[in-house]
Amino acid sequence: MAVYKRRYNPYTGSLTPEWSRFFVLTRYAFADLFKARFFVVLLVLSLVPILFFASYIFIANNKTAQLLMQLRSAGLFSVETQYFIVIMMVQTQAAFLLNCWVGPVLIAGDLTNGAVPLFLSRPFTRADYVLGKLAVLGLLLSAVTWVPCLLLFSLQAGLATDGWIWSHLWMVVPIVLCSAIWILMLSLISLAVSAWVKLRIVATGVIFISFFIPAGLGEMFNAIMSTRWGILLNFSYMFRLILAKGFRERSGLLGSFGWDEIPVAAAWAVLILVCLLSLVILNARLRARETVRG
Amino acid sequence: MNAQDLVARAQKWSKEQPWRLFGSQISILVRNEVRRNLFTRRRIWIYLLALIPALIILTHLIVGKYNVDVAQMEIDTQVLAGIVQLYYFRLGIFFACMAIFTWLFRGEMVERTLHYQFLVPVRREVLVVGKFLAGGLVAITLFETAVFACFYLTYARFGSAGKSYVFDGPGLGQLGSYLLVTALACLGYGAVFLALSLLFKNPIVPGVVIMGWEAIAPIFPAWAQRLSVTFYLKHLCPVSLPVIGPLAIFTIVAEPVSPFIAVLGLLCLIIAILALSCFLIHRMEITYTAE
C-alpha cells in the first residue's frame, strides 16, 4: 500500500468554550457514576424522605385529610422552622453518605493511572480540573439537600393561605447558605482525601474517620480540660449551630450548650478553615508531573 | 446417627488433625504479619488514634501542675471511664480495628499479593486464624499501652494520694479491668471486621453500619443487645457511666451479667464470627482486576 506524505492538520471542529471546559469532566464522571447500580439505589433512597416530608405538607394543608385521620389538634401538623430544620438534618446526613460513596473515586483513579498529567497537558488548568470534580459532588449533593428543600418550600407556599410565603421567605437564605457550606466542606474533604489516599477502601474509611474521630477527641478535650472549645472539632455540631442560628431556632439543636456559648462566627471559621486545608492538600497533590520511585 | 456417634467421629477427626503443624504455621504467620504491620509508616495514624488521649492528659498534667486538688480525683476517674468507654470502645479501637483487620486480607488483595499466601501449602482456616491473631496482637499491644498511659497520667498528677488510690484502693482493680476489656474489645471488633473484609469488597460502609448498631443496641431488647460487642464490654467496665442524650429515654437496661459470663459470651461471639470467616475464606476468589 502506498504511504503518502501527510502534513499536520490542526483540529478544525468547534471548540468547547473556555468557561465551560470543566464541565466535560463532570459529564463523564456522572456517566460513570450512573453505571453503578448501587449508586442509583443510594441516590433514590436518599430522596425517599422527601416523599414523606411532602405528604406531611399535604396533610398539614388539607382539612379533609386531617378529619379523615381524626386529628383533634389543628396545630399538630405545622410547617415552620423546625420542619425545615428536620429536613435539612436528614438530607445533609444522606448527602454525607452519598459523598462517602462517590467522593473517594473521583481523583484517586486519575492519580493511580497517571492521568492527571494528560488532563493538564490540554488547555485545561488545575483550577478547571478541581472545579470539574467539585461540580460532580456539588450537583449531586445539591440534588438531595437544598433543591428538594426549596421544592418543599414552594409546595407549602402553593398550598398555604394567608400570605405564608411572604412571612417565611427569609427561610430561603438559611436553606441555601447552610446547604452550600455543608456541600462545599464535604466535597473538598472528599476530593482532598481522594487525592491523598489513592485506594478507595482506605479513602472511604478516612472520610468517615475525619468526621467521627475529631468529634470524639473534642468531647474528650472538653472533659479533661474543663472547657467547651473542643466542640469546634465536631463539624456536624458546627453545622447544627449554623443551622440553629440561621433559622433562629433555640430549642433542641444545641444539646447541652447554651444559645450564645459558641459564637456562630467560630462555627463558620472552622468550616471555612477545613475547606482551605483541603484546598492546600489538593494544591500539593495535583501536579502536572509524576514522581516514580523504585 | 446418635450423639455418641457424633462425639466419636469428632474425636476421631480431632486425632487425625496435625495440630502441631497448624501451631507452627500459625506462629510463623503471626511473626511475619507482626513484622510487616506493627512498625510501618502507614500505621502512624493508628498510633495517633491510640495515643492522642494520653497526650491530652499529659498536657493537662503539665498545665495544671500547680493546681492539684485531691477532691478532683473522683471526677477524673469518671473522665477516665468516659475516655475508655466512649472514645476507645466507640471510636479509637473501633476504627483502628477496622483499619488493621480489614487490611489483613483486603490489603493483600489491593497489593496483589494474596495469591502467594493461597499458593503455599497452608489450610485457609490456618491463614484466617494466623492473621487474626497477628492483628489482635498488634491492636492489643497498641491499645493496652495507650490505656495504661492514660491511667498512669490520670493518677500521677495526684502524687501520693493517687498512689494510695491505685495501690491501696480500687485503682489497681480498675486498671486490670480496663486492660482486660481493651483486649476483648480489640479481639471482638477484630473478628467482626475480619469477617466483613471477607464478605464485602469495600467493608467500610458495612463497618459504619455496625458502628451505628453498636450505638443504638441499648434501645433494643436484651436478646438483641447480646449481638453487640459493647453489651459484653459494658458489664466488665469497673466504672459505669450514666446514659445521656436522646437515646437515654429509649434505653432498655438489660439484666446485669456476671464478669465470667460476659467474658465467656464475648469469646463465644468471637469464635462464632471466626468460624464464619473460616467458612467465607473457602468461597474467596482472587479477582485483582476488580480492586
Would you say residue A115 lies in a domain?
yes
Would you say residue B201 lies in a domain?
yes
Give residue A291's pLDDT. Answer: 67
Mean pLDDT of chain B: 86
Distance (Å, rounded) from C-alpha A203 to C-alpha B204? 10
pLDDT at A260 over 80: no
B60 → closest Cβ in A205, A212, A224: A224
pLDDT at B45 over 90: no
pLDDT at B260 over 90: no
pLDDT at B289 over 80: no
Beta-carbon contacts of B172 under 8 Å, excluding residues fewer than 6 positions away, are: B166
Q: How confident is the model at residue B251 (pLDDT cuts 50, 70, 90)?
A: low
Beta-carbon contacts of B288 under 8 Å, excluding residues fewer than 6 positions away, are: B109, B112
Residue B160: helix, strand or coil by DSSP? Answer: helix
Q: What is the mean pLDDT of residues B151-166?
A: 90
Would you say residue A192 lies in a domain?
yes
Condensed to tens digits (0 to 9), the pLDDT of residues B67-84 reads 777 778 888 899 999 999
A213 → closest Cβ in B95, B203, B208: B95
Give residue B214's pLDDT. Answer: 85
Q: How many domains does chain A contain in total?
A: 1
Q: What is the mean pLDDT of residues B138-157?
A: 93
Would you say residue A111 lies in a domain?
yes
Per-residue b or e along A272-289, where b marks 16 or more CB atoms closer than 10 Å to that residue's CB: eebbeebeebbeebbeee
Q: What residues in B contact A221, CB-CB < 8 Å?
A: 56
Give residue A254's pLDDT. Answer: 66
Query: Is A201's CB within 8 Å of B53's CB?
Result: no
Q: How confident is the model at residue B174 (pLDDT cuts 50, 70, 90)?
A: very high
Q: Does B56 touch chain A (CB under 8 A)?
A: yes
Its pTM stands at 0.83
pLDDT at B237 over 90: no
Q: What is the mean pLDDT of residues A211-226?
A: 89
Query: Is A204's CB within 8 Å of B83's CB?
Result: no
Condensed to tens digits (0 to 9), the pLDDT of residues A171-198 reads 999 999 999 999 999 999 999 999 988 7
Query: Is A225's CB within 8 Å of B56's CB?
Result: yes
Would you say residue B9 lies in a domain?
no
Condensed to tens digits (0 to 9), the pLDDT of residues A94-147 reads 999 999 989 988 998 888 888 888 888 888 889 999 999 999 999 999 999 999
Give residue B275's pLDDT. Answer: 94
- Domain of residue B187 covers 23-50+70-290
Q: What residues in A contact B202, CB-CB < 8 Å?
A: 200-201, 204
Give residue B290's pLDDT. Answer: 57
Query: Is A209's CB within 8 Å of B92's CB?
Result: no
How close does chain A come to B171, measured CA to CA in Å? 19
Q: How confident is the model at residue B203 (pLDDT cuts 50, 70, 90)?
A: confident
- Indicate the DSSP class of residue B83: I
Condensed to tens digits (0 to 9), the pLDDT of residues A137-178 reads 999 999 999 999 999 999 999 988 888 889 999 999 999 999
Chain A residues within 8 angstroms (CB to CB) of chain B: 100-101, 199-201, 204-205, 208-209, 212-213, 216-217, 219-221, 223-225, 255
Distance (Å, rounded) from C-alpha B101 to C-alpha B130? 12
Q: How confident is the model at residue B149 (pLDDT cuts 50, 70, 90)?
A: very high
Q: How many domains does chain B contain in total?
A: 1
Would you say residue A137 lies in a domain?
yes
Complex-level ipTM: 0.79
Give residue A64's pLDDT. Answer: 84
pLDDT at A256 over 70: no
Q: What residues in B contact A201, CB-CB < 8 Å?
A: 102, 106, 110, 202-204
pLDDT at B109 over 90: no
Q: For residue B93, which of B59, B62, B51 has the smallest C-alpha distance? A: B51
Q: What type of residue sits at position A7?
A: R
Would you say residue A30 lies in a domain?
yes
Task: Please give the share of chain A, as a percent, with pLDDT higher than 70.
Answer: 92
- Domain of residue A38 covers 19-59+78-285
Give residue A74's pLDDT. Answer: 59
Which comes out higher in pLDDT, residue B42 or B260? B260
Would you say residue B249 lies in a domain?
yes
pLDDT at A7 over 90: no
Query: Is A224's CB within 8 Å of B79's CB?
Result: yes
Condensed to tens digits (0 to 9), the pLDDT of residues A65-83 reads 888 877 666 567 788 888 9
Which comes out higher in pLDDT, residue B281 or B41? B281
Secondary structure string (H, E, C) spanning chain A: CCCCCCCCCCCCCCCCCHHHCHHHHHHHHHHHHCCCHHHHHHHHHHHHHHHHHHHHHHHHCCHHHHHHCCCCCHHHCCCCHHHHHHHHHHHHHHHHHHHHHHHHHHHHHHHHCCCHHHHHCCCCCHHHHHHHHHHHHHHHHHHHCHHHHHHHHHHHHHHCCCCHHHHHHHHHHHHHHHHHHHHHHHHHHHHHHHHHCCCHHHHHHHHHHHHHHHHHHHHHHHHHHCCCHHHHHCHHHHHHHHHHHHHCCCCCCCCCCCCCCCCHHHHHHHHHHHHHHHHHHHHHHCCCCCCCCC
Would you say residue A126 lies in a domain?
yes
Q: What is the mean pLDDT of residues A55-61?
A: 90
Give residue B224's pLDDT. Answer: 83
Which comes out higher in pLDDT, residue B213 or A289? B213
